[in-house]
Amino acid sequence: MRIVLTGGGTGGHIYPAIAVGKQMMREHPNAKLLYIGTERGLESRIVPEAGIPFESIDITGFKRKLSLDNVQTVIRFLKGVRRSKELLRRFKADAVVGTGGYVCGPVVYAAARLGIPTLIHEQNVIPGLTNKFLARYADCVAVSFQESLAHFGKAKRTVHTGNPCATHVAAANRNKGYAALGLPEGSRIVLVVGGSRGAKAINEAMVDMAPLLGRLPGVHFVFVTGETYFERTMERIRQVTPIVANYLHVHSYLHNMPEVLAATTLVVGRAGASSLAEITALGLPSILIPSPNVTNNHQEANARSLVEAGAAEMVLEKDLRGAELLDRIDAILSDEHRLRSMRRASEGLGMPDAAERIAAELNRLTRRG
């Protein structure tokens, strides 16, 4: 089986595609993968590091208002379709998986025109422009959130699979997480993280909280700043608390996030689709602070899905204050009944077999093809 993966711009599109590819390799050891992205996107670095062959096309996204730039984008799209057809024919693709981002537009469209089975995956509650466009051409639309199904009413087939990033995290070893952090097994851990690149607003709230953390005895705060913010954030923490307490553990980045998540008691962070898939796969309660700087404010919609299920609380960034955030953390951790209830609700939303579900759809499409 020969599978083409495409999607890019952000890790939220790239990592689900890689997760699907790895699942197909587990099920079909002789399968071949090819990833088509852009040289400008993160995929040009992340995909080769994952050991997957990479090819690129030249494409940019549409502006959301009338612009002469969109004329050039249409020209690039048509050229991208021609280039994609060449790559698909050369690779002899059996199926194409698109996970969003403008790069997957010409690739999936080209595959559909060539009669190659296609599947697109939507990570967020509110679909992106590219996936909404591709839905009419794709053989199957897979979604992470049940609420997304209504947005794809005219698609040939829609399935609620969850996010494939959940599958890898679900098997993580929590004891390895404790060991990596240098903490005793069973420690209560609050993981504060603003995404892989960090979040300035969350970092500022954590700086404000730093002198107050002693109010929660026995709780370890694992704080991930993002590499760009690390030095400045550490400098500010030392200004407000000259001796950094042994219950505050500050990191620029965590390379073993699945294991750390498995050891975590409560997550405080953004509401990106892949992050929420990982959180719910492990049944973790969370306090979500959606980024307001994303298309269609989709992180707030993602967060609201968990809040309405009882798995999370939400704090809008404009309302974020360090002392008030600590009060929320304290209220959850000090109420064991509430903590258990949030865990159950999170588990109820989790789909740790998401990659397997998507692989099953691909197997169905290729058998049919």
124 annotated binding-site participant: yes
Q: Confirm whether residue 297 is marked as ligand binding.
A: no
Tell me, letter by letter, the H, E, C secondary structure of the chain.
CEEEEECCCCHHHHHHHHHHHHHHHHHCCCCEEEEEECCCCCHHHHHHHCCCCEEECCCCCCCCCCCCHHHHHHHHHHHHHHHHHHHHHHHCCCEEEECCCCCHHHHHHHHHHHCCCEEEEECCCCCCHHHHHHCCCCCEEEECCHHHHHHHCCCCCEEECCCCHHHHHHCCCHHHHHHHHCCCCCCEEEEEECCCCCCHHHHHHHHHHHHHHHHCCCEEEEEECCHHHHHHHHHHHHHHCCCCCCCEEEECCCCCHHHHHHCCCEEEECCCHHHHHHHHHCCCCEEECCCCCCHHHHHHHHHHHHHHHCCEEECCHHHCCHHHHHHHHHHHHCCHHHHHHHHHHHHHHCCCCHHHHHHHHHHHHHHHC
Is 196 known to sit in a ligand binding site? yes
> Does the annotation flag 12 for ligand binding?
yes
11 annotated as belonging to a binding site for a ligand:
yes
128 annotated among ligand-binding-site residues: no
What are the binding residues?
Answer: 10-12, 124, 196, 299
Binding site members for UDP-N-acetyl-alpha-D-glucosamine: 10-12, 124, 196, 299
